[in-house]
A = this chain, B = another copy of it.
Amino acid sequence: MNSDFTLAIHSLTLLALQPDRMSTSEYIAESAGVHPVRIRKVLSLLKKNGFITSKEGTGGGFIFALELDQVNLWDIYQITSEGALQPKCTESNGQCIVGANMKSVLFTIFMGAEEHLGLYLKDYTIKEVVELVKQKEA
């Protein structure tokens, strides 16, 4: 898994704490310790899905578009990383009963695993993540 998922969470959490003004990709990038272009790429996904809005030009940036408890980590996972659990099987030997069928068996199992993970991630909304961050700070 690449870090799009965690960068998205990081960005949204930051936006959640700046509800009244737009945050630039440079500002978010500095908080997350990555390059601004990378942030813009991740945030463009979130924008497509309606979690944030953006504005170009002077004074522009990104801002949260929903209530904090309307976005959960499963939503974000699906947008940024769906299928990441799926194992990358190299093409194996079709002559062998295991080689021929393992790929699809694993596919089925990992699909289930991802769904199951979804049940867990749905319980964390950005509101809760913000709370956790504040708790740590205190």
Contact = CB atoms under 8 A, between A and B. Distances in A.
Interface of A: 1, 3, 5-6, 9-10, 13-14, 17, 30-34, 73, 85, 87-93, 96-102, 104-106, 108-109, 112-113, 116-117, 119-121, 124, 129, 132-134, 136-137
A137 B101 contact: yes
B116 A132 contact: no
Contacts of A100: 136-137
16 contacts: A1-B1, A1-B87, A3-B87, A3-B90, A5-B87, A6-B89, A10-B98, A13-B102, A30-B99, A31-B93, A31-B98, A33-B93, A33-B99, A97-B133, A101-B137, A116-B119
Chain A interface helix/strand/loop/mixed: helix
Contacts of A10: 92, 98-99, 102
A99 B6 CA distance: 12
Contact of A137 (B92, B97, B129, B132): B97
B120 A112 contact: yes
Nearest to A6: B87
B33 A101 contact: no
Contacts of A91: 33
Given A10-B102, A32-B102, A109-B129, 19 more contacts: A1-B1, A1-B85, A3-B88, A3-B89, A10-B92, A14-B96, A17-B98, A30-B96, A31-B98, A32-B90, A33-B90, A97-B133, A101-B136, A102-B133, A105-B129, A105-B133, A108-B132, A113-B120, A116-B116
